Structure 1
Amino acid sequence: MRRIRVRLDVAYDGTDFSGWAVQPTRRTVAGELTAVLTRLFGTVEGLTVAGRTDAGVHATGQVCHVDVPADRWDALSAALLRKLAGLLPPDVRVLAAAEVPPEFDARFSALSRRYEYRVTDAAWGASPLRRHDTVAWPRPLDLDALNAAAEGLVGEHDYAAFCRRKEHATTIRAVNRLDWRRDPDGILVATVQADAFCQQMVRSLVGAQLFVGDGRRPAAWPAGLLTRRVRADEVTVAPAHGLALVEVTYPDDPADLLARAELTRRRRDADDQPAPPADGTEPTGLSRRDWPAGLSRRD
């Protein structure tokens, strides 16, 4: 059976999902998509996503690919988006579906991923209509302090202090954008872009900067953690619901897709190494009573 590769651009409200990846007893984005795609195409293979979002994290610009029977694609492609809209639950939508070359890999062909994180420091908290995607911070935040903290975190570094370490997985990443803005409605938005991210990295970076923004840490503190080779226990992991994946970029020339995927795989293979043992000298940092209600050191 001849198959063709399809790129899907996906948006979802992560509130009621246990993340992207399929889990047997939990509701996930990939689980919902797989069930509906299988219903339409009969069989689907190789559902692969650009970034596996955690439980509660949203997306407006997620990308995945899947291989489907060519004859079913020919029959369904013209009306596919409407059919998907009718079958998928209201908290997940496929925004675009297009045939792509077999060399396209949603994960390894990607050049960058861009996330945004929304925070309000308003005394009344988050707007009721935005409570699912905006975190209410209990202290006033200084925009200049947030950007001062962000500046030292840009570049290619080992972000072990900000990552949930996986065995034999690298924590070296290249962050090419990290900055904050305050929108006209008063919401503070962090934009974070990198070639890739390790687990909990964005939320940990944001958590560290928020403690600078509210005056409890100096601006140089987050960048100083980049010398660590183990996760910094004193870094707060910011709540999941403030985070959204908003864009994934790929090479403009289809001929470059395979080369990019192969380069990404080689880099990962070269960089992957076991985590070094903790030396027992990590500072304890802020006490639990210093954290905003509902936050924890670890998810």
Structure 2
Amino acid sequence: MADLNVEKQRIAMAVEFDGSAFHGWQKQDNAASVQAELQAALAAIEGDSVVTVAAGRTDSGVHAEAILVHGDVSAARWQRSHLAYLHGLNSKLPDTVRVIGVKAVKPDFHARFDCRERAYRYQIWNRNTLSAIHRWRHWWMPRELDVQVMQEAASYCLGTHDFSSLRASGCQAAHATRTINRLEIRKTGDAIEIEVAADAFLYHMVRNLVGNLVEVGVGKQSPDGFRELLAMCDRSKGAATAPAHGLYFIDAVYDGFSSRELIGRS
């Protein structure tokens, strides 16, 4: 039995994972999850259960490049060698999950509640043929997309708004008001990237946003029509939800650091 008097150290971990291998972040009874794998690896090192908390939940199939997770571990074991702890943890994880950065934080630090901004990237493969390489990393869109008009429509999302038009029916948030700080669309070759950062997101908000921007990009909706859709605050008037496998959690920002800044640190 583990010594209940062992002094604990709360650590923040930047975690990368391939979402195609999991039914999302959150631990589930009958499905593979990232949280279950990470907690099993921590338990193997600690000799006791470790509860982890992430900056946000991800759906089945969604990937992460640097989601921030906290957990409490043995202070003595952690202080012995941060790098050894990091490598030991990764040795217990499947190839589809990696802790890519870690640091000590205060005992009351909370990965979810202390997060000031979260950022996602959505990737689209815009070519008339499906890619053999990018098949499960991008949403394949064979029709040509007009990135310029998509960016015009996206500009209407900047700032603080009621995003009920982008809110999935299963959302449990108390309200739909969110603040989008940045929304950029870039095209490089056949790949289009939509990057969005906000104080918080509603359930399926990014995927619903992408679905509607694609409607603008193919000419089914105008930028002004998209602005009117946002003002309606009615999800039923919007486009279909974009598939999960094109979405990546890329950053979580806190006072003094972000999850991306932890990459390579130990």
> What does residue 250 of structure 1 align with?
254
TM-score by length of 1: 0.80
8 Å CA contact 1:43, 1:68 repeated in 2: no
Give the structure-2-normalised TM-score. Answer: 0.89
Distance 1:5 1:164 in 2: 34
My pick for the range that moved more, 37-46 or 197-206, is 37-46
Choose which of 87, 91, 96 in structure 1 pairs with 2:96. Answer: 91
For residue 200 of structure 1, report the CA deviation from its aligned partner: 0.2
- May I ask how many residue pairs the two structures share in their alignment? 251
The CA RMSD measured in Å over matched residues stands at 1.7
The structure 2 residue matched to 1:140, chosen from 123, 140, 144, is 144
1:198 to 193, 202, 220: 202
How far is the alpha carbon of 1:235 from its aligned partner? 2.2
Deviation at 1:14, TM superposition (A): 0.3
After superposition, the Cα gap between the structure-2 partners of 1:12 and 1:167, relative to the gap in structure 1 and judged at 3 Å, is: closer
- 1:116 counterpart (121, 129, 132): 121
Task: List 4+ stretches of structure 1 deviating above 6 A.
Answer: none
Q: 1:169 Cα shift?
A: 2.0
**What secondary structure sits across from 1:128 in the alignment?**
coil
Secondary structure, counterpart of 1:74 in structure 2: helix
Give, in angstroms, the shift of residue 248 of structure 1. 1.1
Partner residue of 2:236 out of 213, 225, 232 = 232
Matches within 5 A, 1:32-51: 32-51=37-56
Shift of 1:114: 1.0
Partner Cα separation in structure 2 for residue 30 and residue 53 of structure 1: 11
Specify whether residues 21 and 233 from structure 1 end up closer, same or farther in structure 2 by C-alpha distance, changes over 3 A only: farther
Name the CA shift for 1:98/1:167 in 2 (closer, same or farther; >3 Å): closer
My pick for the range that moved more, 151-160 or 204-213, is 151-160
Contact 1:43–1:69 (CA<8 Å) still a contact in 2?
no
Q: How far is 1:234 from its partner?
A: 3.5
Provide the residue aligned with 1:154 in structure 2. 158
Match of residue 264 from structure 2: none
2:188 matches 1:180? no
Q: Structure 2: how far apart are the matches of 1:91 and 1:216?
A: 38
Distance (Å, rounded) in 2 between the aligned partners of 1:213 and 1:62: 29
**Following TM superposition, by how much is the alpha carbon of 1:232 offset from its aligned partner in structure 2, in angstroms?**
2.6
The 1:251/1:168 distance shift into structure 2, 3 A limit, reads closer
Displacement of 1:44 in angstroms is: 4.1
1:81 corresponds, among 66, 75, 86, to: 86
Question: Secondary structure of the residue that 1:130 maps to in structure 2?
Answer: coil
d(CA) in 2 for partners of 1:34 and 1:76?
20
* 2:151–2:184 contact (8 Å) kept in structure 1: yes
* Secondary structure of 2:185 counterpart: strand
CA contact under 8 A between 2:116 and 2:253: conserved in structure 1? yes
Bigger RCO (CA 8 Å, 6+ sep): 2
Q: Does residue 57 of the first structure (1) align with residue 44 of the second (2)?
A: no
- Counterpart of 1:219 in structure 2 is 223
Call closer, same or farther: CA 1:167–1:191 in 2, change over 3 Å: closer
CA contact (8 A) 1:41 1:73 kept: no
Identity of aligned residues (%): 35
Could you tell me which of 68, 72, 75 is aligned with 2:73?
Answer: 68
Gaps of 5+ in 1: 254-299
Contact 2:39 2:50 in 1 (8 A): no
Shift of 1:99: 1.2
Query: Secondary structure of 2:238's match?
Result: coil
Please state how far the C-alpha of 1:13 moved relative to its aligned partner. Answer: 0.7
SS in 2 for 1:140: coil
Q: Is the contact between residue 43 and residue 50 of structure 2 (CA under 8 Å) also seen in structure 1?
A: no
